[in-house]
Structures are given as C-alpha cells and as structure tokens.
A and B are shown apart, each in its own frame.
Chain A
C-alpha cells in the first residue's frame, strides 16, 4: 500500500475538512525549510538549459521545462486538540517535448544535471512511442520569448513566516468559541500553499514565479441527541491568492446583512460565533416545501454554480472532445460559438475570464507554458462570445496567441488547459441585496456552497447550500432546511433577473477543481455579486433510513 493512500484514508476521517488529494503527494519538511527560496535562480537556469539541450540532441523540435518546488502547510484541529501539523515539500522537474510532431512528457525528482538529462531523453522516447501509432500533430501558436523575468503574488505577510503556534492558538480559540457556544463538534484548519515555479522553453523564456495561496476554514457540527439529527455549517471564508493578511479582519471588508460575509479580509472569530448560532437554527428550521421559487444567491454560494455551469462548459478541450472519457464534453459547441447569437443567459449576464485579478486564486504573471496572462469576455450581454484556449488550441479558435490558461498541479504532472477565474460582472445600476429581495413574492435566499452535481455536458445541475432563508412577499421570514435546486444551465441563466452592484462583488473559489487523466487539481476563483434567478425548481432532500 502506498503512503499516499494511508494519508488519504486518514484524511477521510476529517469529514468536511478532507485535504485535497494532490496536496498529500509531497514530503513533509520542517517549518524553517518553508522560508528558504530553494535553489538559486542562476542554477535553475543552468539546469533548465541541460533539459533544453538534451531534448534537442535527441531530436525534440520544442521543449519546455518546469523546475518546481511546491510547499504546503496544514494546521488541522478538532475540538480542543491539534490533529495534525504537516509541512510538505515536493521538488522536481517536469519536461515536455515535441518530437516527431507529438507531445511527450517525463518527470523526475532527481534534480541533477544527470537526472534531468535522462528525464529529457525519456520525454523524447515517450513522444516517439506515441508517434509510431496515431497521435495528434501538435500545432503551437507562436509565443515570443520573454528572456529572464519574474512574478510574485502581491502578499503582505507570507503565511509560512507566521509561527505554527500562532495558527494553532487562533484555531483553538475558534474551536473554544464554537464549543462554549453550544456546538457539538468543530473541525478547523488553515491550509497554506507556496508554488515556486521556474519555467524555461526553447522560445527563449526563463520565468521565475512565486505564488501564494491560503485557506482558513472550519465546519461546526450540531447534534440533537433526542432525535439523533445532526447538521453542519461551514465557514464563509474563501481560499484566496493572498498571504496571512487575509486573516486580519477589517470592518470595511465585511458585508453586513442577515449574517456577515467577507470580501478581502476574513474575521474567523466572528464567523464561528455566527455559524454556531446558525447550526441551532438549522436543526430547528422547517423542512422546505418543494416547488418553484425565485432564488436569491449570495456570492458565497453562486461562485460554485458559475464554476460548474459556465466555467467548465467553456473549456475548449471539453468542447472538442478531449475530456470525453472523464469529466465529459460540453453542451456548448463550436457551431454555437460561431453563430454569434447563442443566448446563454439573459441580457444582464456578462461573464469574464481573467488571470490577473488581485487576490484571486488564478492570478499569475505567466501560465505554465510561458504565456503572459490576460482577461477576455466569455459571455457578453447574454451571448456566448469565446472559450478558453492554450497554445496548441489557439489555432482552432483562429486566435493569434494563447489565452494563457495552461496549468499543471505540480512538476510531476503535464500542463494542460485549466480554467482561469471566470466571473459574473456586477450589475451596472446601483442595486442592493435588499432591493433584490423586496420584489420577491415566494423565494429562497441561499448563503454558502453545499452539495453540487452536474452532468457530463453541463445541462442539468443540482446544488445545495449552507443556510437557506425563506422570502415571502419581499421579506425574509426565517430559516429553512433540506433545500436543493435543480435546473438546466441555459434556462437558469436566462432566468437571471437582477444582479446587485459592484459594492456587493466578492470572490469565492476552490483549491481542488479536478480535471484530466491522471487527475489534476487547479485553484480558481469566481467573482459575482448577489444575483436573482426566477422560478427555479426546488426539491426537498429529507429521507429516512
């Protein structure tokens, strides 16, 4: 049995706080090692040149090399105790080549000139083996070399520089607040990520990047012993492309309302108190009456619906059939794009792809095939106008350059097309959440993301949430439970009837967007403001066993 599997099995016992699988692949290291920068950039360039030259000598017509050092820290607590503190590092080299017109890839953790040279030869051998049978002939759109450049996530405080003790103390304080407030159990964790990536290619780029992400999270569990019923409420935090400053609360980054939600700063102590109260209300709430409702969706919820129903079906590899054997294809086709009038949503729906947005998980200077990042429209005034494409796909869309959304989860995985941040633009007119609710006769206001499922062409979806409030005649009347909604993607986005203005705009996101075979995780954010959808089908999820 593999060590990785043992870790996965133990992670399953963490319930809602299961660690993304890909993060467990690294080896554990001590805290101080998280702060050094790894090997010098000059040495990285020398090693990269070894790969480029070795592959060329074996007949490669294009080569890129990624020397990656991936650092993760997990501080995981439960009730009054620390369950696990782990520092992991994964260091190695991935080499991708084109030989005989085909892609080949190999990776090794032997980061020496000899190890890299052999790895480059293996990558060429893989390409040549594929060329013997039928393989795609790769067509790369041109990309200028940038020379020696660098990029760093704009952070205020490196999360790895904050002592583990401070994180443990904060999380145990969170847990104390929940337990003293009447929660049955609480799991709380802080996950921090640092990707130190060096990219070089035969196009003449040598790109050094230092990327940071953080995700503080908790799940409060409440149990009604008499009935044996239990329920949970997860934190309203988001994983973000920031440093530890995300955990320093700021009043002007709070969104007040029925419960406080958060923009670029998170108040974990305030949120856990609210969550503990929410759990009590949830246990006592009436079960929803199934039927049609107008849904008012908070950004902490709607980001996931955008992710599943907009971001995935606009990935060009899905559209073309390259993901058919795993995640599936797409209801969006080249014909629908070319027609120029495919009505994806109502006129107020504007959706943008973006790799630049500050604080987002997708923000980098250059993607994993050395393309500078950018922003472009996907849906404009309700109409489908573009997809997401990388260097070997750009020619299919008639683009002169890649859109810069190529990513690999580590040095040991081959890079491929991954979604950029895909966000719904806020309403242009001044509109508050109260303005959106006041016109609803029969509705449900949903906060936080819950259960999610969508078909392999992204037509039919079902979503749950964290908390659900009934709206009657323009007023919130109280909490509901057992709520999930089902819809068809195109009908749903065409029922979009109101979007709050930019003052309500927030990012949600995930560390573990899965795609590909072997499966890879991508970290991505989705922004939006509170949005209303009319006449959506709501089901009741309560059962007895």
Chain B
C-alpha cells in the first residue's frame, strides 16, 4: 500500500516545482499567520489531508471501496492555488515601493519557471469544427445516420473516441477500449483485427460484418483490400474525406420516418 501512496504522490507532483512552492507558502503562513480561521483552513486542514493521504490504511480503504487509480484525487483537497496566491500576495503587501513590484514580478517568474505552460500539451489542436471532433467523423456519421434509429458501423481506430460523442445513432461493434466488446464471445475483436491488417480480406470483412450485424464498415481509401467487397455483399456506398464507406447489403436499412 505504501507503494501506491508513493507512486500517486510522485505522479501528482510530476516534473514541476509548484508543490515545492506550496510547501514554502504553507511554512510562510505557519510562521506569519496569526488569525485562527486562516490557520485552520489553510494550514491545519491541508496538513491533516496530507497525513490522511500518506496513511497506507487510507490507500487500502480506497482500494476496497472505490478505485485506487483515483487515489491521487485526495490531494485535490489541498487548496494549492488559493494558498500560494494568498501567501504571495501577503508577502507583496508587506513590502513598499519598487520592492513590491520587483518581488511580485519575481514570484510570477518563479511560477512560470517552476511550472509548465498548459498549452504545451500535445493533445491540444486547433478545433476543426464547433463539436471539437475530427471533421471526418462528423461527415461520415452524417452520411450514414438514419434519423430515428441506430446503425452499427465499424470505424478506424483513430476515430473510436469521437463517434459516440458526436451521435448516439451510430453504435459500434468495438469501442476505443478493447475491454468493452460487443457480443457475448468477444467476436468483435476479430473484425477489428481484420480491419487493422496491412491488407484487408474482403471475404473476412463481409463475414465479420454479418456476424456482428454491422451496417457499415469504414476504411481508409489507401487501405489495400484483397478481393472485391461487392462479391460478398459489401457495396461501396460512399467516399467521404479520404474514407470509403462499405454498406452491408444483408442488413435492414428501414427508415422509420419514411
């Protein structure tokens, strides 16, 4: 359990100095702050939270009753931002003249130096549309959706995260996490494995689409296919944003509003 505590603590602290600044702020407040309500909320409460966090019994209880993956979230109870800002401000207020400006600027510089700009995270990208999902996902979904009913479609792995955010009318034989497979025997993984092969077999693709009641299969236009999908009941339905949409003709496409 001690390993869990240490691992979560080190992962939480990460590569910056913000937690060090927080501890410095705590010590500063501990020395300078006389008001009881402030000492309780900004010094004693966080210390108690830290003691609770580093207690292996807490980690054990979390593992039993919740999920030990979220153990680090106990540290969210520490008012890090409020405390550092408050302590820094209190320190600045005590100064006069130019020293005030210099110290404030110096502390801001230290924060910048000790942290890391949020926008350097490479998971940020310029939004392609008002939904913040890849435009290909929106276009393909719009192409295959039948209002008022669900259709099942197998998407390339890179879009699995986005499809169901965009529309609930498209269901999928497999999601982004392989653990969540559709069907009773995990057979959807066969389709995914087939579609991820360097060359897709048209026959196997059609067979798996039938087995999983899949209305559509979406493949990159660059993906080599051995055999002609049309021979196995997979019609080349449409081309959208560099992807081919294959329609499984053995499925029912009744439009409830027609």
Do these two chains really belong together in a complex?
no
